Structure 1
Amino acid sequence: MSPPVLGTPWRELSPSDKSVEPLIIDGQVIPPGIQIGVNIYAHHHNEEYFPEPFSYKPERRLESSTPIDQRKRMQEEFVPFSIGTRNCPGRTLAYHEASIVLAKILWYFDFEVAPGELGKLGAGNSTLGNGREREDEYQLYDVLTSTHDGPNLIFVPREYFHEGVIGNIEGIRQIH
């Protein structure tokens, strides 16, 4: 729902490509040297590949809830780290690290949206313009530097589980 990079993976037909067929997209002839691309955010919110793309539904990737052909199409269209020769070389490591961090957070903590206005920080609203009016959607902006504006969450340690986290933190401090 929120790709790590919002940019567009641009592609172009090389001027040296002497193929017989011209590149035609949606009835438009694209001459060699012209860059084309689909923004990753738009790609991941295409209802043809991801039904109800603005709804958080992790179960859509489970075998029992989605037909295999639909899961295959979703997998093929999911490109948060780009594709082809310019894909991210660290994507396997990123998936691995993110999986471990997310699993530990979900194991050790319960969380909820912060109350009041803090919980709404970063959400869409009608004053932000076309495409940014969904209040339940965290708004993403393509910037060249790090920035964020929410979401704000409250993490509550689960009974007894937080002791393992605190013990690990203390162990790390002793090493350094």
Structure 2
Amino acid sequence: MSAVLKANETIEWSTRPETGRDAEAVHAVVRAAFPTAEEADLVDALRADPAWIPGLSWVAETPDGEIAGHALLTRCRIGGADAVALAPVSVLPAYHKRGAGTAVTRAALRAAAEQGEALAVVLGHPEYYPRFGFVPASRMGIRASFEVPDEALMALPLNGTGAAPLPSGTIEYPAPFGV
């Protein structure tokens, strides 16, 4: 961390798509955000997988350019139709509760919508993801192929108009997820 932060200090987050030179910093952010290296290794594996979608791996930077947050959307399939899976969302511990996760998640979801993606799914904290509009996926007829609490598996339509039919059925995650 390049600066000492005061409690509740507001930070202006800059968000942008990940570039090739960011891989090491992204790995470090994801590794620091979780208790094991599994999620960081997952991001690295997804980067080399056909599920990787250019422009849907986003970073949040501090005003001095330090990468402090990351959000990734990759291709998944639901009932045979294309969708995107949001995972993982990571923030360096020093920047928790300062808006980095929110900023980078909003930017990634906005980019997915702009690229024409219709639906995003996330398996995560039911207290956190509804702020972006996620609702239990079961309301849309979407389920995982493994046991998961209903409130933790969520979906978000990205097409805004509701004109395009949304997929329903079982989520097929990319191979690196191991499910």
The verdict on a shared fold, with TM-score over 0.5 as the criterion, is no
Q: TM-score range by the shorter chain?
A: under 0.3
* Normalised TM-score (structure 2): 0.23
Whose RCO is larger (CA < 8 A, sep 6+)?
2
